[in-house]
Amino acid sequence: MNREEIIGKINSFLVEEFEVDASKITPEAPLKETLEMDSLDFVDLVVVIESNFGIKVKGEDFVNIKTFQDFYDFIINRVI
């Protein structure tokens, strides 16, 4: 799976899981605000990441993730 395929897969599950308009998901957009995430949504996101990519994610992994680009980079670096 290459970078573009990973980003496409991420965007697909974010649109489906968080019912957000795909046009709002841009690399520079703030992740938490765009997805309107609360603590339960965060748990859902971790579960979706683990089931889609087979990687384990901890809460502290998200400390430096501010934008979608940060999120993409985090997953890509763990998968590739």
In 19-67, alpha helices (H)? 31-35, 39-53
> Which pLDDT band, with edges at 50, 70 and 90, does 30 fall under?
very high
Nearest residue to 8 via CA among 31, 30, 25: 25
* Three-state secondary structure of 7-27: HHHHHHHHHHHHCCCHHHCCC
Q: How far is CA 22 from CA 8, 27, 60, 61, 78, in A?
A: 11, 12, 27, 24, 24
46-76 residue pLDDT tens: 999 999 999 999 889 999 999 999 999 999 9
